[in-house]
Amino acid sequence: MSFLRNTFAIIVGLAIAGLIITLGIRAFPKWVTFEAFAPFEHWQKFLESMKNDDAFFGFLLFISGLGSTVGGVATAIIVKYAKVAYAILIGFIMLFIAMLDVIVFPYHPTFYKISIFLIFFPFAWMGGKIVEVIYERKKKRRIADKMNNKQ
């Protein structure tokens, strides 16, 4: 049962991170040059049109960090044990997808190619750490309340 729960958590975390990144890109209509919402069909043409726009790639890094953090939080909330480890797994999978994107489509600037390594792991780790700290505080509060009730 734990395997299914952990697998579900990873899928939910990845879906949330992907949704945040996709909606972040769609938030600015001047960047989206295609009419139908089919990001994978138009991605190469879109990246080619954006290859000189450093603001877009900077925003993409920001929104990727935000997506990794929220995806890590969602994953860490769902899994029962090793919350930070599963959140980091979200960061690893997102990094793998970003590296495939950089390899397949050669229109990314150099700063983006380097920065993806510095974005996905730390932000996903931070998402897992947020949940771990909240759970630890709740646990300490419960223990303190039990001690106070016994006296």
Q: Write out the residue range of the structural domain in which residue 88 sits.
A: 2-150
Chain centroid to CA 42: 22
More confident residue, 29 or 12: 12
pLDDT tens profile 85-131: 999 999 999 999 999 989 988 888 889 999 999 999 899 999 999 99
pLDDT tens profile 79-94: 999 999 999 999 999 9
Domain count, the chain: 1
pTM for the predicted model, two decimal places: 0.85
**57, 109 contact by CB (below 8 A):** yes
Question: In angstroms, rounded to a whole number, what is the distance separating the alpha carbons of residues 25 and 62?
Answer: 11
Question: In angstroms, rounded to a whole number, what is the distance separating the alpha carbons of residues 146 and 151?
Answer: 9
**Residue carrying the six token digits 């899994």:** 79
Give me 12's structure tokens: 């939910």
